[in-house]
Structure 1
């Protein structure tokens, strides 16, 4: 582990928590734009310290905290003048001349991005799903009647904390987790044991919610299924510079993802249609 990082961690713990650091560990996998460390304090408490390139948005943590209470950690932004003055938010070349040089260099690099004479092939991929998307326009009012729900946007092993019994004790990194109609914001991925493990969250999700909400969703289970598909489409496509864009990996997986049916709808059948 880098000595400078440990040095800053000890300094932050002492300055903001008034405690000394006993041990610093790092997870096996790190995020793309941050560095996370698990810190054990001298009094036995454990905290997570994250070095970031962007400012921490605490509002999303507050919303999640209201819904999930103990599972969402208390989050504070730690101010440190020394780290802020390093300039991790800036490109090299602080003055105008330096920025112009960087931008010219970027232009030369990105000028090699030619792939084809026109964009027809990629446009065809998008227009294939136009009828499906248009169909959702007529159902937006129906979907808006689903409960307003906050779910975690990026459920992966880095953001899920568990105890020795594999029970979830905490969820971190809530910044992109904005509330949406139930099932629209649910993220899922396919591990090797997917067909066995996939049923568990749906069963526990419905069992753990208020009985009144459960009953309402059961009566509108087809609408919940549609909301899942809508969420999948919204996660694949995006609007940027007045054009529709998409992630290439998501687009390749989309035909299969669109056949996904939630547990209450499909019963004992497989989650995806072959």
Structure 2
């Protein structure tokens, strides 16, 4: 018999099950409490142990690829919590993770200066996800995945779209794809946001979670995240703030400065990678934004380009 969906899992039952799971690991639970902030398809329980340590038990409807989490931890060390699967009687999937002693970025009242420092540190962390420096490592991915997918977006998803500027931009990116072949492959977190980046008491990044859907792509494929991290969205409208431009500048400058010496002359390829990654994030399964949102899609891409060029 399959487990009921997470939406039907009561907090008390989840807390009791988390304590049971922890006991199977030869740990002694003192108190289990469901966290206030929960994911859409998960329920997370904080378990305090009698020896003072804390672990996290997460119940999910979908499976986590713990090999990707382990790969990320291999790249970034303790910034990525160790995670492993356990059996549960109340959920389809359950996992135990190390506790991050910090707060989500979105919960921290950071100054503009602190946000810039965090953005700079994040850029360095993303550079830490590089697998190697061989330019040949990217060629097959560009030819057999990136180029065909861009073409299908143009030929299928945007076939009947009348907003020509975004189609023109994607055609331009297609023409620049060969430039990606100089970049190394990296482990790409596909949804970096202020809820899965954690900060310590000094407002320094000390945790990044939600690696289970990470992809192996050219370096820079996820650095478009700086747009959403630095430009708030209210009522579905982008609202540039005082922090937006300085954060973007700090991020790009740190990223470019951290590139290996042989890649710095190819820094513009990072921008191409970022813009293509942004397009792919908007066309999930080739289903893209509504036609009336395509101008905003283009505006965000142009913002990435202008802030990047200003940092060069």
2:218 alignment partner in structure 1: 181
Aligned equivalents of 1:20, 1:52: Cα separation in 2: 21
Asked if residue 155 in structure 1 is aligned to residue 199 in structure 2, the reply is no
Q: Evaluate the alpha carbon distance shift between residue 21 and residue 197 of structure 1 in structure 2; reply closer, same or farther with a 3 A threshold.
A: farther
Give the alignment of 1:78-227 within 5 angstroms. Answer: 78-84=86-92, 123-125=160-162, 128-186=165-223, 187-188=225-226, 189=228, 190-191=231-232, 192=241, 193-207=243-257, 209=258, 213-227=259-273
Offset of residue 84 of structure 1: 4.1
Aligned equivalents of 1:254, 1:142: Cα separation in 2: 23
2:279 alignment partner in structure 1: 233
Asked if residue 24 in structure 1 is aligned to residue 33 in structure 2, the reply is yes
How many residues align? The count is 226
1:117 alignment partner in structure 2: none
Aligned equivalents of 1:70, 1:140: Cα separation in 2: 34
2:81 alignment partner in structure 1: 73
Aligned equivalents of 1:129, 1:160: Cα separation in 2: 31
Offset of residue 55 of structure 1: 1.5
**TM-score normalised per structure 1:** 0.71
Asked if residue 257 in structure 1 is aligned to residue 265 in structure 2, the reply is no
What's the Cα RMSD here?
3.0
Q: 1:59 aligns with which of 47, 56, 67?
A: 67
Q: Evaluate the alpha carbon distance shift between residue 245 and residue 11 of structure 1 in structure 2; reply closer, same or farther with a 3 A threshold.
A: same
**TM-score normalised per structure 2:** 0.63
Asked if residue 245 in structure 1 is aligned to residue 287 in structure 2, the reply is yes
Considering fraction of residues, name the structure with more helix: 2
Judge conservation of contact 2:180–2:269 (CA < 8 Å) in 1: yes
Aligned equivalents of 2:92, 2:301: Cα separation in 1: 45
Offset of residue 4 of structure 1: 1.4
Aligned equivalents of 2:254, 2:30: Cα separation in 1: 38
Structure 1 stretches of 4+ moved >6 Å: none
Judge conservation of contact 1:225–1:262 (CA < 8 Å) in 2: no
Unaligned runs of at least 5 residues, structure 1: 86-119, 269-274
SS of aligned partner of 2:51: coil
Q: Evaluate the alpha carbon distance shift between residue 178 and residue 166 of structure 1 in structure 2; reply closer, same or farther with a 3 A threshold.
A: same
Q: Deviations over 1:4-32 (max 9, x none)?
A: 121111111112343223353514x3222
